[in-house]
Chains A and B, each alone.
Chain A
Amino acid sequence: MEIVGEENFTDALIDLISYSSDASEHRHRPDGAVWPKTTEQVSEILNLANEHKFPVIPRGAGTGLAGGVVAERGGIVMDMGRMNRIIKIGIEDRLAVVQPGVVYDQLAKALAHYGFFFPPDPASGKAATLGGNVATNAGGLKGAKYGTTRDYVLGLAVVLPDGAVLRTGSKCMKSVSGFDLTRLFVGSEGTLGVITEIILKINPKPQTTSASSAAFDSIEDAAKAISEVMRSGIIPSALEILDDQCILALNRDADLGLPEVAAIVLAETDGHTREETNYQIDRIIDVFRRNNAKEIKRAQSAEETEKLWAARKSIGGILFRLSYNMLAEDVTVPISKVPKMLKAIQAISKRHNVLIATLGHLGDGNLHPNIIFDGRNPGERARAAKATDDLFRAAIELGGTLTGEHGIGLAKADFMPLEHSTVAIKVMRNIKTLFDPNNILNPGKMGLEI
């Protein structure tokens, strides 16, 4: 391809296969892939695609769980990984300007140098790119206290399907000038334009943390404790739950010697002094006690904190080892509905006879029921699909949402009408048509087609 040069285009089989999937169950080979280096190149490629009407699928690191970068209808994968410069870190202005291919960890390291950080940290932060984080509005463990990616994007440069370059937002902390186009693109999953530059708000990094874990004999008690923490006036920097299936898997594979109870809850508080973080964690521990926690641990040092979190940090991988396939779901409900949702998950697991291991960021109601199955067995696959269906329905009935942080992609495209009214879907489809009348950008995602 003349636009990017021979070395930045490929249709080699090994590349097409490596671009055929992300971390989801979906798979389809594209017809080619490009690695643009500049906004101008992105513009020229989109222009060409628009003229010849071939699909373009923007891609970051491909760590997504919803099939958002799978070339379901072929076309060209546009790998943004090589636009990976941190353009500017402006501590005084509290911002960082980056290209989309910058990896989360790369920015984290650069900011640590100044004592700053970019709070929304997805579990895949070592590999995931910021462009992908913005396009999927990624969340993470710190959501309860710090929000998600959306809360930190001040402005964007976006190439539209006709090749025009749109600049949204500003470098100001405040701006109410015109429509908030920035927010429209955050979480748009590459269906409206290709992000080529991002202005991010950054935070000073809290210097200290305190942590605690508590074991509960019933999931209801654990859930009640969590609701009470959220009412207590303390906002933990992380509040996580691991259910009995997670605990069993961890004890089998990771040798952490966890108590075999119904649920373990982990809490972390952060701040600038030890007194402050200890005060907060002690209030949380009071709540744990009042709700029948049986084994409470409180970390006294960085190493002890590390130990407490070891279970949570290794769980993702451990669950993948249980069988051949896993649907990593991320239904989210209002915090007050978490106890009901946890119960519903248990019932669904029983009803469809499938293993569901649940963890979650409970400070923001974001649950991760992981449906684990052997996809080589058609019966198991069908039961897993039915369980997913029920999971979505249960969440929506509780006033929740299909996805808290992974996105709709291909995985949940068919379920959009379950959550959104016909009016809402019509508006979304109109927006899609306005930006991308020829439907060249990431077609088939988010249920945007009529």
Chain B
Amino acid sequence: MEHVTSFLKEEYREQILKCSECGFCQATCPLFLITLRPAYNTRGKMMVLKEVIDGTIALSQELAETFYACTACQACTYSCPSGVKGHEIIEAVRKKLYEEGSTPVPLFGLRDSISKTGNVFGSDREQGIDIYPPPLRDKAKTGEMKKRAETLLFMGCLPSFMDMKIIPSFIQVMDGGVVDYTTLGTEEGCCGFPLYLLGSDKFDSHAKKVIERIKETGARQLVTPCAGCYKTFKHLYSEIGDMGLEIYHCVQCVEKLIKEGRIRFNWQESGKVTYHDPCDLGRATKLFEEPRNILKSIPGLEYVEMAENRLNARCCGGGGGMQAFKPDLAVAMAAARVRDALEVGAEVIVSACPACKDNLRKGARSIPKQERGKIKIMDVTELIAKALKR
């Protein structure tokens, strides 16, 4: 019986057996709350695993669905009275499913894109710098980008290939704060987080390559506007190797620049703004106050808090591979989060995660116009850039 679940650490097997099936995780699982399907909630997943441990069923493609139907938001872990770390167990099971070739087919696209072109969209590497502001783009093209700098800006796949505003805003803020930086330009690739979420064994070797390339810059700190990249570098890479530099999310860096008086704000508009905690920045890495402090320091901006915030924030549905695996459900989860914001009268939802922004926008668009009104979704970098004193 032991060998069947030897892929699970003893600690996880214990937790699975200690799941009392109380169902409290149902109250916080973003996927359950929109599907009302218990099999998609963590309790359902633990019940499947209990049967696997008992030997009444074996892990299979049929069962894989429930383990990939998860945004990896960690809400279940925080709501569990019995101390079951649901998200860690799900990640461990995904590894096994991947090894057995049971990962759902729609998710392989992510892996194949990364192995082909180095980014999750399978886009041509050269296009990654098209969104840079012209002077920086020219330098990147002609190879005049600084080889070494104090700070390495790591952009992330989504900002590089799919978003029009995050990188220009991010660069503008860094320039405003007179930060000595460089970027990897066309050599920047995916941090590998999607591989990790898939359960791929390629994550480790991918991470090692990224670490080597980053080390070449000699930078003392890395700053990224992407919550997923941040969590990956800060927490997942630490298991693999020493990156030899400090890792920061852009909200930490900007909060420091504000405190040091290196950037100042001059807000021209009025409006109610709320902050959506990205799971990778919130529950996963506990950066709750930095983005709020930034928003609250912008004069003229009225900050409102959603009922479910910080540790209790509802996931937007954009993570865990759900956008690839179940795109409709990902959008439905985002719509639920947009409604949380509408409920407190917010006119702008600010997030600090490109995936959240992308998915929340899709969610907002899925809500009838008369209900959603003029609600806007922005990344925190955009709002900061907009509010900068020129």
A residues at B contact (CB < 8 Å): 12-15, 17-23, 35, 61-63, 79, 81-82, 84, 101, 103, 105, 124, 126-128, 314, 316-318, 320-321, 324, 326
Contacts and interface: CB of A to CB of B under 8 A. Distances in A.
Contact of B51 (A15, A17, A19, A127): A17
- The size class of the interface chain B forms with chain A is 20 to 34
Interface in B55-91: 57, 62-63, 65-66, 80-83
Interface in B9-65: 17-18, 20-24, 26-27, 36-39, 41, 43-44, 47-48, 51, 57, 62-63, 65
Chain B interface, DSSP helix/strand/loop, else mixed: helix
Contact of A318 (B21, B38, B41, B81): B81
A17 B20 contact: no
Nearest to A103: B27
Nearest to A126: B27
A406 B173 CA distance: 58
A320 B18 contact: yes
B23 A62 contact: yes
B21 A23 contact: yes
Contact of A62 (B38, B51, B65, B81): B38
B27 A23 contact: no
Given A61-B23, A126-B27, A127-B23, A15 B39 contact: yes
Contacts of B63: 13-14
B256 to A, nearest CB: 31
A124 to B, nearest CB: 7
Interface in B315-329: none
A14 B20 contact: no
B47 A21 contact: yes
Contact of B81 (A61, A101, A316): A316
Contacts of A317: 22, 80-83
Contacts of A105: 27
Nearest to A105: B27
Nearest to B79: A126
B54 to A, nearest CB: 10
Contact of B47 (A18, A61, A128, A314): A18
B36 A82 contact: yes
Contacts of A12: 39, 62, 65
Contacts of B44: 14-15, 17-18
A239 B24 CA distance: 24
A128 B23 CA distance: 8
A318 B83 CA distance: 9
Nearest to B20: A320
A324 B17 contact: yes
A19 B38 contact: yes
9 contacts: A15-B37, A15-B44, A17-B48, A18-B44, A23-B20, A62-B23, A63-B24, A314-B81, A320-B22
A172 to B, nearest CB: 33
Contact of B38 (A15, A314, A324): A15
A60 to B, nearest CB: 10
B372 to A, nearest CB: 21
Contacts of B26: 61, 127
A314 B21 CA distance: 16
Given A17-B57, A321-B83, 8 more contacts: A18-B39, A21-B21, A23-B23, A82-B36, A124-B24, A127-B22, A316-B22, A320-B81
A324 B18 contact: yes
Contact of A18 (B27, B41, B57): B41
A29 B44 CA distance: 13
B225 to A, nearest CB: 34
Contacts of A81: 36
Contacts of B47: 17-18, 20-21
A23 B38 contact: no
Contacts of A13: 57, 62-63
Contacts of B43: 18
**What are the 7 closest A-B residue pairs judged by CB atoms, nearest first?**
A317-B81, A18-B44, A126-B27, A18-B39, A14-B39, A18-B38, A320-B82
Contacts of A79: 36, 38
A390 B347 CA distance: 61
Nearest to A374: B17
A182 B229 CA distance: 57
Interface string B129-149: 000000000000000000000
Contacts of A326: 20
A124 B22 contact: yes
Nearest to A323: B18
A232 to B, nearest CB: 34
Contacts of A21: 21, 47
A84 B39 contact: no
A128 B36 CA distance: 13
A127 B23 CA distance: 7
Contacts of B81: 314, 316-318, 320
Contacts of A318: 81
A105 to B, nearest CB: 7
Contacts of B82: 317, 320-321
B21 to A, nearest CB: 5
Contact of B65 (A14, A82, A101): A14
A110 to B, nearest CB: 12
A127 B24 CA distance: 6
A12 B64 CA distance: 12
Nearest to B38: A18
A113 to B, nearest CB: 11
A321 to B, nearest CB: 5
Nearest to B19: A320
B48 A14 contact: yes
B18 A23 contact: no
B44 to A, nearest CB: 3
Interface string B330-341: 000000000000
A443 B38 CA distance: 22
Given A14-B48, A17-B48, A63 B18 contact: no
Give the residue among A13, A15, A128 with the most B Cβ atoms within 10 A: A13
